[in-house]
Amino acid sequence: AQKVTQAQTEISVVEKEDVTLDCVYETRDTTYYLFWYKQPPSGELVFLIRRNSFDEQNEISGRYSWNFQKSTSSFNFTITASQVVDSAVYFCALSDTGTASKLTFGTGTRLQVTL
């Protein structure tokens, strides 16, 4: 069975601070995909990144960066110089690589960025 753990329920930071959201996963599959989604107060799920299990290169996209460590089964997400618009719930998710594989979500981390 697959499991995703986001131990941080809620994080509050002041604008311009850096913040890291933790994600730890469990799976018996040798190949899998990891995802991060953002859910702003409006409710939609916004895709941020997909990472294949055989690609451990870290990725940077603007103020966002992701650190994938297969050895510790972690896929952490860092926002640099946070902004108020980053306030949202962030979900880490996992799927296998089979056809029509469902996503297993973590419980989410609510990020509050204040001025």
Partner 1 sequence: AAGVIQSPRHLIKEKRETATLKCYPIPRHDTVYWYQQGPGQDPQFLISFYEKMQSDKGSIPDRFSAQQFSDYHSELNMSSLELGDSALYFCASSLGAKTNGYTFGSGTRLTVV
Instruction: Say whether residue 95 binds partner 1 (CB under 8 A).
Output: yes
Give the residue with the Cβ less far from partner 1, 16 or 102: 102
Amino acid letter, residue 9: T
- Contact region with partner 1 (CB under 8 A), list: 21-29, 64-72, 76-84, 103-111: 103-111
Q: Which of residues 28-87 bind partner 1 (CB under 8 A)?
A: 33, 35, 37, 43-45, 47, 50
Spatial contact of 66 and 49, defined as CB atoms under 8 Å apart: yes
Footprint of partner 1 (CB under 8 A): 33, 35, 37, 43-45, 47, 50, 91, 95, 97-108
